[in-house]
């Protein structure tokens, strides 16, 4: 898309013919690849109607997939809110005038961005069992939410920081000039604009949160992948169940991505200058 | 922490081979990274090519793979590819699972490599491509000689982020029955729940030690390789 106008001119007749040939060859190759895969699947009986038709009935959905989806969305929704709060607190902490607060918040944020989410989930799931803080049946949910919050909250903290840094200097100078204190300037002038600037990046972080709830299957959280796996092993169509679960994830995530792009188109008009929150150097927003 | 705590943790660390588990993750990262880089480059070239069918295929691949949880892909590799379709990548049981996990990690991260390279292409000024065309280079020549060399240099930082994500995501290979750090950490915590915090810190700091230098190195490299404009 992006490279399109950059990389080649409006094609002449010779190029058009060449592109047409390449298109046909490419199309045939793709079709051949798909055909081979489908043939191999059919050979193994994976395309039999019996393995797919259960998904057209209500049973698998009401008994397995929808309850799993509800759990997935529940964990994702809680984690989105808590990550936002964590990110705002630590993002402001990294902008604090106090060197100690900045250093502590910086260390916390960098630490949780470097540790795999799965390790955190396993730690909280098994570790909190020692403390009697939560009912045992809640521990998988708590583990999933805490793991997601610490990682994604740290990414959000970095977004808050980079959003504030991307604002034109005049915003802070004007706020100080009308007599606001630095803290007030941050709270009333800079952060609200930074939040708007970081909306697109924030929305793509929601996709990361939703995808990573699937890690919950490892710590026995009954989310969508777990229910698809149980459904599939019960009915003998594990491959088909996994495909259906994946399609559900893809559809929801694609909608979230589109939302992110739509927000990116709108956000630019609401801030001073051309503020934007980009993924900072060490941030891994691309999971 | 009293002395007894550290002593108990020390005894536990002698019983389990933690460095060996990290070595498995590093191997997973290495092979999956190589494969993902190759596949991702092909996809990126497809996505910027003048051929519409290849562009659509590349875009479709990225949309599907990027929006599917890695956990599902890895479960699919073991339960689906191996369990249902009988795809075997090695006669040895352990290395079969290892290779299936590498495959799953590679196809997932190839989508992100592709996007990183495309963002690198965006850093190349229009004038470069225009100049290449003005000299009479074809698409393949201008891509190979002018655009991609600069795009790779502009893509070092995002590629570094993909590498860091890959290192951390290699822990998900646990669902593909690969014995690596997250599985070992779980075993150790289940065996000695009294030192759970110490065990977690050992593994977490292990990842900090692996990930932070990679981050610093790619940041330094991207500054050094940045095309002066």
pLDDT digits (tens, 9 = 90+) for A81-137: 999 999 999 999 999 888 999 999 999 999 999 999 999 999 999 999 888 888 888
Task: Give the pLDDT mean for B37-48.
Answer: 91
Cβ–Cβ below 8 Å for B50 and A7: yes
Right CATH for A61-270 from 3.40.50.1820, 1.10.3720.10, 2.60.40.10, 3.40.50.2000 = 1.10.3720.10
The overall pTM is greater than 0.90:
no
Task: Give the pLDDT mean for B220-227.
Answer: 86
ipTM: 0.90
Q: Which one is predicted more confidently, A54 or B181?
A: B181
List chain B residues with CB under 8 Å of A211.
67-70
A258/chain B closest Cα distance in angstroms? 11
Give the angle subtended at the CA of B24 by the CAs of B222 and B97, to the nearest 5°: 115
A147/chain B closest Cα distance in angstroms? 13
Cβ–Cβ below 8 Å for A282 and B80: no
Nearest CB partner across the interface for B165, out of A239, A281, A286: A286
Measured CA to CA in angstroms, residue A263 lies from A1, A168, A255, A266, B142 at distances of 19, 21, 12, 5, 35
Per residue in B157-211, pLDDT tens?
899 999 999 999 999 999 998 999 999 999 999 999 989 999 999 999 999 999 9
pLDDT at A279 over 60: no
List chain A residues with CB under 8 Å of B203.
119
List chain A residues with CB under 8 Å of B29.
none
List chain A residues with CB under 8 Å of B118.
2-3
Give which of B56, B75, B210 to mutate to test A binding, by max A Cβ within 10 Å.
Answer: B75
Q: For a pLDDT cut of 70, what percent of chain A falls above it? A: 89
Task: Give the pLDDT mean for B132-139.
Answer: 86
Task: Give the pLDDT mean for B140-148.
Answer: 86
Cβ–Cβ below 8 Å for A46 and B71: no
Gap between the Cα atoms of B177 and A278, Å rounded: 36
Give which of B48, B72, B193 to mutate to test A binding, by max A Cβ within 10 Å.
Answer: B72
Cβ neighbours around A230 below 10 Å, total? 16
Q: Please, are residues B170 and B180 in contact by the beta-carbon 8 Å criterion?
A: yes
Report pLDDT for A284. 36
> What structural domains and CATH numbers belong to chain B?
3-225 (1.10.3720.10)
Report pLDDT for A49. 81
Across A61-83, b (16+ Cβ under 10 Å) vs e yields beebbeebbebbebbbebbbebb
Cβ–Cβ below 8 Å for A118 and B182: yes
Instruction: Please tell me the least confidently modeled range out of A49-53, A186-190, B166-170.
Output: A49-53
Task: Give the pLDDT mean for A181-193.
Answer: 90
Report pLDDT for A286. 33
Residue written as token pair 């200058």: A273
Q: Which helix (H) or strand (E) holds B91?
A: none
Q: Which one is predicted more confidently, A241 or A48?
A: A241
SS (H, E, C) A39-98: HHHHHCCCCCHHHHHHHHCHHHHHHHHHHHHHHHHHHHHHHHHHHHHHHHHHHHHHCCCC
Per residue in A200-256, pLDDT tens?
888 889 999 999 999 999 999 999 999 999 898 888 888 889 999 999 999 999 998
Report pLDDT for A273. 60
Nearest CB partner across the interface for A286, out of B59, B162, B197: B162
Nearest CB partner across the interface for B75, out of A27, A115, A225: A225
Gap between the Cα atoms of B192 and B177, Å rounded: 22
For residue A228, the chain B residue with the least C-alpha distance is B72
Gap between the Cα atoms of B200 and A120, Å rounded: 8
Cβ–Cβ below 8 Å for A250 and B64: yes
Average pLDDT, chain A: 86
Report pLDDT for A213. 95
């Amino acid at each position: 898309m992006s490279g399109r106008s950059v990389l080649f001119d409006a094609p002449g007749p010779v190029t058009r013919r060449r592109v047409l040939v390449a298109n046909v060859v490419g199309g045939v190759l793709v079709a051949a690849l798909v055909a081979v895969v489908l043939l191999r699947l059919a050979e193994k009986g994976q395309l039999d109607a019996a393995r797919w038709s259960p998904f057209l009935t209500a049973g698998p959905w009401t008994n397995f997939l929808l309850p799993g989806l509800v759990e997935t969305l529940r964990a994702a929704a809680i984690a989105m809110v808590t990550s936002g709060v964590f990110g705002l607190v630590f993002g402001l902490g990294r902008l604090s005038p106090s060197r100690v607060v900045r250093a502590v918040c910086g260390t916390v944020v960098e630490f949780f961005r470097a540790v795999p989410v799965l390790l955190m989930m396993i730690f909280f799931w098994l570790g909190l069992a020692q403390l009697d803080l939560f009912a045992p049946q809640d521990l998988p949910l708590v583990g999933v939410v805490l793991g997601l919050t610490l990682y994604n909250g740290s990414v959000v903290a970095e977004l808050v920081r980079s959003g504030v840094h991307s604002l034109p200097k005049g915003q802070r100078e004007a706020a100080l000039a009308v007599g606001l204190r630095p803290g007030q300037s941050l709270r009333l002038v800079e952060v609200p604009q930074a939040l708007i600037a970081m909306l697109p990046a924030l929305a793509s972080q929601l996709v990361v949160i939703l995808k990573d709830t699937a890690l919950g299957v490892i710590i026995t959280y009954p989310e969508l992948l777990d229910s698809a796996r149980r459904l599939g092993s019960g009915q003998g169509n594990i491959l088909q169940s996994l495909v259906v679960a994946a399609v559900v994830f893809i559809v929801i995530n694609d909608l979230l991505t589109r939302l992110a792009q739509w927000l990116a188109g709108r956000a630019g008009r609401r801030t001073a200058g051309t503020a934007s929150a980009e993924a900072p150097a060490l941030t891994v927003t691309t999971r | 922490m009293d002395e007894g705590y550290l002593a108990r943790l020390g005894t536990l660390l002698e019983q389990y081979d933690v460095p060996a588990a990290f070595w498995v993750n590093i191997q997973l990262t290495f092979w999956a990274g190589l494969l993902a880089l190759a596949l991702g480059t092909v996809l990126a070239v497809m996505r910027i090519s003048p051929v519409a069918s290849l562009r659509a295929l590349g875009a479709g691949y990225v949309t599907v793979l990027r929006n599917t949880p890695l956990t599902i892909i890895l479960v699919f590799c073991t339960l689906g590819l191996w369990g249902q379709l009988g795809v075997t990548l090695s006669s040895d049981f352990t290395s079969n699972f290892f290779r299936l996990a590498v495959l799953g990690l590679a196809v997932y991260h190839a989508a992100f490599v592709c996007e990183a390279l495309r963002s690198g292409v965006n850093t190349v000024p229009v004038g470069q491509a225009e100049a290449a065309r003005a000299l009479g280079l074809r698409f393949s020549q201008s891509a190979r000689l002018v655009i991609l060399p600069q795009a790779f240099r502009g893509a070092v930082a995002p590629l570094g982020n993909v590498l860091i994500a890959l290192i951390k995501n290699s822990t998900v290979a646990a669902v593909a029955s690969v014995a690596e750090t997250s599985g070992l950490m779980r075993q150790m915590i289940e065996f000695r729940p009294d030192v759970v915090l110490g065990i977690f810190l050992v593994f977490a700091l292990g990842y900090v030690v692996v990930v932070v230098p990679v981050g610093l190195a790619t940041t330094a490299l991207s500054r050094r390789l940045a095309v002066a404009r």
